[in-house]
Amino acid sequence: MKNILLIYFIFLSSYNGLGQELEDILEQEASDTTLLVASTFNGTRLLNGHSVETRKEGILEFLISHRFGRVNSGFDQLFGLDESNIRFGFEYAMNDRLTLAIGRSSFEKTYDVYAKYRLLQQKTGESPFPFGLTVFGSATEKTIKDYEPGNKPSFSDRLTYTGQILLAKKINPTVSVQFAPTFIHFNTAPESIDPNDIVSLGFGTRVKISKRVSLNGEYYYNINPFDSLDVKNSIAFGVDIETGGHIFQLIFTNGVSMIEKGFIAETTGDFLKGDIHFGFNISRAFQLKKQNRPYVN
């Protein structure tokens, strides 16, 4: 009996030691895991401008953006609701990093195409990386016939190009920030005294107040605005509401355009004087392929 008890205690001791070793190995493997930080922002738009986010491979996203008139236009215009500008757009994720898109705005009857490519993504774990980086490039064509019959601009004259570097960091599960240096080239400036190239610095933030609702802010500072226009820096505040496959954004902004060359370089409304446009963005993502890589929210 003593021998049996001795063998039992030896086995139990070995078992406990083996269990501890296995536990230590599992903890080490968990600590060695590198996780991509997901949902820095709720969607591909911060408010007017793009966020660092791109969609996962195989996802088609349909976006509708709406901007009404100025709220200080008075009751006769129902505080801007009698006026309306709209943009429809489609984004398709070729892979997890690359998104291609096309859109059309009623404002100035403008067509736009763009590409977004995620170069770097914020990570935690064994090999952390402190921020995400996405590059954005677009081209637009203004097709509104606002010219004299004998002075029709060429196709090239109606083109504008935008390039952005989007740098973002999810500071914690509640707060995210973004910095967006922006370059815009107009093939044709509004007047001869105006520069063809505009440089702007964008700043944005998201503060999450519940699982599906967040407050967003966005500001673009123009370093060299047009001289012929009384250009104001673009300001926007809004609320994000996530409902499954939909992201709904309520927006208050001094810009009426919904593409970069318009709301960054051509905004003339003074937000502090009530030149505010109420609007919304709504998107619907159609998920065609699931991703299984681990993320941290």
Reported residue count of the chain is 297
With pLDDT > 70 as the criterion, what percentage of the chain qualifies? 86
Question: Tokens 């016939």 correspond to what residue?
Answer: 145
How many helices (H) and strands (E) the chain has is answered by: 2, 15
Asked whether residue 29 carries a pLDDT value surpassing 60, the answer given is: no
> How many angstroms from the chain centroid is the CA of residue 245?
16
Q: Is the dihedral of CA 145, 200, 162, 203 positive or negative?
A: negative
Asked whether residue 58 carries a pLDDT value surpassing 70, the answer given is: yes
User: What is the per-residue pLDDT for 50?
Assistant: 96
Mean of all residue pLDDT scores within the chain: 86
This prediction's pTM: 0.83
Asked whether residue 247 carries a pLDDT value surpassing 60, the answer given is: yes
Q: What is the pLDDT of residues 137-167, one digit of tens each?
A: 999 999 988 877 778 888 999 999 999 999 9
Closest among 126, 116, 130 to 168, alpha carbons compared? 130
The CA distance from 186 to 192, in Å, is 12
Closest among 211, 210, 234 to 222, alpha carbons compared? 234
User: What is the per-residue pLDDT for 9?
Assistant: 40
Helix, strand, coil percent content, the chain, rounded in steps of 5: 20, 45, 35
Asked whether residue 99 carries a pLDDT value surpassing 90, the answer given is: yes
With pLDDT > 90 as the criterion, what percentage of the chain qualifies? 64
Asked whether residue 239 carries a pLDDT value surpassing 50, the answer given is: yes
Structure tokens at 272: 């502090």
Asked whether residue 222 carries a pLDDT value surpassing 90, the answer given is: yes
Structure tokens at 109: 């009857």
Asked whether residue 38 carries a pLDDT value surpassing 90, the answer given is: no
Mean pLDDT of 158-181: 96
Structure tokens at 186: 């107009």
Structure tokens at 140: 């637009």
Q: What is the pLDDT of residues 251-272, one digit of tens each?
A: 999 999 999 999 999 999 999 9
Asked whether residue 3 carries a pLDDT value surpassing 50, the answer given is: no
Query: 270 versus 76: which is more confidently predicted?
Result: 270
Please report the beta strands in 53-131, taking only residues with DSSP state E, as ranges in sequence order. 60-70, 84-93, 98-105, 110-120, 123-125
The CA distance from 277 to 108, in Å, is 17
Ranges 49-53, 70-74, 190-194, most confident: 49-53
167 by Cβ neighbours in 10 Å (0-12 / 13-18 / 19+) ranks as middle
Q: What is the pLDDT of residues 8-26, one digit of tens each?
A: 444 444 444 444 554 554 4
